[in-house]
A and B are shown apart, each in its own frame.
Chain A
Amino acid sequence: MSAVWDYLFGSPAFLIFGTYTLMMIVGLGILLHLQLGVTGIGNFGVAGFWGAGLYAFGIMQVTYDVGFWPALLVATAAGGVLGLITGWVIADLDDDGVLAATLAVATIVYLAIDSEKDITGGRVGLGTIDFPFDVGKRTDLAWLAILFGVVGVLLWYARRVHRSPYGRLLIATGTNEPLARSLRKPVKRTKVGVMALTSAGMGALGGLYGPIVHFLFPTQLTVAITVSVITALVLGGQQRPLGAFVGALLTVGLFDIVIKLYVPLPKDLLEHAFPVTKQIIFGALLIFVLLFRPLGFLGRMRRERHVKGLSRV
């Protein structure tokens, strides 16, 4: 029994870090679900909104020596303001324009961090950021519990959105903008609003990631984050709140937790071939899922269930 325990939890630090990553991808995936799966906004700059929050948090804590809560608030606001501006830009662009604008926003965040070394530390890094509390050995477990809670709240909110008039407005905006407009729905404002709200969430998640890594580098915000989030969501089912969760378990969970921790791979393989193979599989998954099962593992929204459950609203 204890052998099994040791096998599973023998390296708790790695297990916890893997689970942190998993929770980040799930949280970002739920927010992307509201943008892409519900409102039809293809945000290819997830890493940028998340990174804006992460760095805003770090700058507040390290450069300006601000406490945890105000720093988290600034992180959330950073994501939100960036989302607001992005939403304003993309509100009347078609999908190509949305791709370009969101990628550009993420690139600007990256370049700004790289360039403004005085406050971001540039490539030297920014740190250290510590947990806002210290309960000894269990601190990182406690942080993990908090992350679970936050992701749980996001999931709860996404599910509520599906059951609310707001969600219906978002779906209508995403599927037939002119028709929604003709039913007196302010679709531009709706898009700006949903981008601001969900990007604020991404910023907040970024802030919560700060204490996990302790030290921030611009290389933490590469497109790989965005690709992981999109892959998880698309694989699990972009139209379903649980899609990102299912997809993240099958991708990040499998690669960054199960294989990394429990499959004895030689060290040089782990260094090069493993991450490369992982990306190849992510890319292939995106292609195959969208070509042959576009709605992923969980399939389409089940709106009719919701209608039939009138009394259970």
Chain B
Amino acid sequence: MSEGNGRAPGGRAPGGRATIRISGLTKSFGDQTVVNIDELVLGAKPVEGLIGPNGAGKTTLMRLIMRSTKADTGTVTLEDGSSEVMLSKLPPHRIASLGVVKTNQVTQDFAGLTIWDSLLLAVAQRHDERPHRVYRERHVRESHGEEIRSYLDLFEFSEPEGFAHSTGEKKLLDVIRCLLLKPKILLLDEPTAGLPDDVTAQVIDMLRAKVAEGMSVVIVEHDLDVIWGFSDVVHFMAEGDVILEGDPAYIRAHSTVVEKYLGSGHV
């Protein structure tokens, strides 16, 4: 399962990918430093894995990028072609509209919204959601219904016209919501945790298809088989910083480092 290395980035020129540049980013909770990264670029390759032991700061790093957690110091910049935007100065919803989107490690859902609601919410544009546009529903459904249905057809929801019931369904919904935003860079925080193997494979296939269309992925995953098979580059994090990066083969070759943190049998 190490064929992931040479995948072409969907016909785009290698320099055309949006990247996230992280400089001097730190975050502490109490007297414990959770993230301390001097310099890191994410998104240069189509699929980048982020691995490391529990408490290495992977999830916090992703939250810092999305600004759902505020950094103590440092900057996060989105570089897209010639434009540069300082993400660390924007409110979270603006970051998402610039094409940087994240799925959640802890299952998140809107109580009271059905599966369709949740997905229509994701696709609806700001001008569809104005208080006086009370007859806009048909328009939103007609322009995005097909797309939503195509995602729903990929998976078996127990009640596609009702609510998401299981944690697994909510997890899938979280990923689909993010894909509907057509992100440039999708941050995935353990997207397949708790999903059965066949569904995990389906999710990865779906993500591959999106990557082929030009989307970049940064994935945190405990199931290292997913990482080895899917990523072009792997960043190994420990104690708040990236201590090793390279393609999966390179990381696996440094088995002493990896095993020191993750225990034996992972490489």
A-to-B contact residues, CB < 8 Å = 157, 160-161, 163-166, 168-169, 171-172, 175-176, 178-188, 193-194, 197, 239, 300-301, 303-304, 306-308, 310, 313
Residues on B with beta carbons closer than 8 Å to the beta carbon of A157: 134
Q: Which of the residues B66, B111, B124, B161 comes within 8 Å of A169, measured between beta carbons? A: B124
Is B38 interfacial (CB 8 A cutoff)? no
Q: Which of the residues A176, A181, A188, A307 comes within 8 Å of B116, measured between beta carbons? A: A307
Q: Which of the residues A160, A239, A301, A307 comes within 8 Å of B161, measured between beta carbons? A: A307
Residues on B with beta carbons closer than 8 Å to the beta carbon of A239: 112
Interface of A is mostly: helix
The answer to whether B121 touches A166 (Cβ under 8 A) is no
The answer to whether B137 touches A163 (Cβ under 8 A) is yes
Considering only residues 141-195 of chain B, those with a C-beta below 8 Å from chain A are: 141, 145, 161-163, 177, 181
30 contacts between A and B (CB under 8 A): A163-B137, A164-B134, A165-B136, A165-B137, A165-B140, A166-B129, A168-B117, A168-B124, A169-B121, A171-B113, A172-B110, A175-B110, A176-B108, A176-B109, A178-B68, A179-B110, A181-B68, A181-B93, A182-B66, A182-B96, A183-B122, A183-B181, A184-B93, A185-B93, A186-B91, A186-B126, A303-B113, A303-B114, A304-B162, A307-B117
Q: Write the chain B residue with the least CB distance to A164.
A: B134
Residues on A with beta carbons closer than 8 Å to the beta carbon of B97: 184
How many Cβ-Cβ contacts under 8 Å join chain A to chain B? 120
Residues on B with beta carbons closer than 8 Å to the beta carbon of A185: 93, 121, 129
Residues on A with beta carbons closer than 8 Å to the beta carbon of B112: 171, 175, 239, 300-301, 303
Residues on B with beta carbons closer than 8 Å to the beta carbon of A179: 104, 108-110
B-to-A contact residues, CB < 8 Å = 66, 68, 91-94, 96-97, 101-102, 104, 108-117, 120-122, 124, 126, 128-131, 133-138, 140-141, 145, 161-163, 177, 181
Residues on A with beta carbons closer than 8 Å to the beta carbon of B162: 304, 307
